[in-house]
Structure 1
Amino acid sequence: MEETQWRVKGPLELDDDKWAEKFSKAANLQYELNHLHPSQIQRKKELLHELFGQIGENTEVLLPFYCNVGTNIKIGKGSFINTNNNYLDTDSIEIGDYTLLAQGVNIICANHPVSTKERIVPVDDKLDDGKYAYINEEGNFDDSIEYTFVNTRSPVKIGDRCWIGANVIILPGVTIGNNVVIGSGSIVTKDIPDNSIAVGNPAKVIRQND
């Protein structure tokens, strides 16, 4: 599903019962997960299987770990997620087999329109008719109206045998191919092809990964 096909107003956990239930369940599971004693290995495994949509055999997730929904996340076999990964999974996140994600990786599916008049809209749907009558010629918004923000989303996919460096940020709609290395601190704004090494802000391919 592309961003333009999904437009939701306001904080999802406050304005929609289905989203509220998903967020609440994920928050409760993460609270228990992130407060486990290191010796509680079996309970950790149970909670990860309950939190994620899929987690493959021999995949390790170090704690703490954070996400919005959990069930939108699918991880293959033999992968490794280091501490303090944070996934805004309002859309699907797919991570392949034998892929390494270093500490502090952020994967973001959630987004908002860049244009202010598209991002900040009246709470009242009758006023939110696309005509922007509440904005005057100088671009000022009518302060007598209550406003909220618009949410959009796009999926993120990471292939097999990748290495995502520390503190990398992966933005909505990005697909990272197989056998890819992303350098630490990079911000991935566009797709990265198979067998590539990419670094920087925005991340750019610097050479092939042989």
Structure 2
Amino acid sequence: MNKIRKIFSVIQRWLVKKLVYVDDGLYMKYYTNYLRKIGVVIHGTPKFISPDAYFDGTDYSKIVIGDNVTISREVMFLTHDYSITSALASIGEKIPRGGGEVFFLKDITIGENCFIGARVSILPGTSIGDNVIIGTCSVVKGKIPNNSIVVGNPYEIIGKTDAYAMLHKKKNDYLIEK
């Protein structure tokens, strides 16, 4: 029964992701519902979640997404990490093959009004505050404070979102989508 349910889930995900090419609003409605159905905790309504964002299937309920969040293409949410297996082996611990592997499983929380740039990797145990901007290809882990602008690998806080907004409001160098 689980295999049949898994097959239907994969087909459903594939169909829902195709809606992005037809109607963004319809896509977001159905994709948000799909993510909730598989266990991702979503508060409010996301602004956009790219169809090629990767959500770690080890335990979807470990991923919490706040209201009005944008998740760009190829963002990776990793809630698990098996590196401890190799670390324990390095000190002589015997880890049996084919079962008994040890791993970390930690939450990922994204606050409200966040923008996650393309190809960002969000590692286990990460908590991103409200109003945070994370630049393309950044690797983030740990606690990121509210109103931060973060870039790099390892990530670095390079500014505050309110200062960024005021600068561009003064320059009036942005476009408004119609």
Give TM-score scaled by structure 1 length: 0.60
Instruction: State the structure with bigger RCO (CA 8 A, min sep 6), 1 or 2.
Output: 1
Measure how far apart 1:114 and its partner are.
Answer: 2.7
Q: Let me know the Cα RMSD of the aligned residues.
A: 3.5
In the alignment, does 2:151 pair up with 1:199? yes
Measure how far apart 1:171 and its partner are.
Answer: 0.5
- Amino-acid identity (%): 25
Structure 2: gaps (5+ residues) = 163-178
Separation of aligned partners in 1, 2:147 and 2:81: 28
Separation of aligned partners in 2, 1:23 and 1:100: 27
More strand by share: 1
More helix by share: 2
Counterpart in 1 of 2:73? 103
Distance 1:25 1:83, change over 3 A: closer
Distance 1:169 1:78, change over 3 A: closer
Q: 3-state SS of the aligned residue for 2:10? A: helix
The structure with more radius of gyration: 1
In the alignment, does 2:50 pair up with 1:82? yes
Counterpart in 1 of 2:175? none
Distance 1:182 1:36, change over 3 A: closer
Separation of aligned partners in 2, 1:114 and 1:81: 31
In the alignment, does 2:40 pair up with 1:93? no
Q: Deviations over 1:14-35 (max 9, x none)?
A: xxx97x7875554242133345
Give TM-score scaled by structure 2 length: 0.70
Count of aligned residue pairs for this structure pair: 158
Structure 1: gaps (5+ residues) = 1-16, 55-69, 121-130, 136-140
Moved over 6 A (4+): 40-43
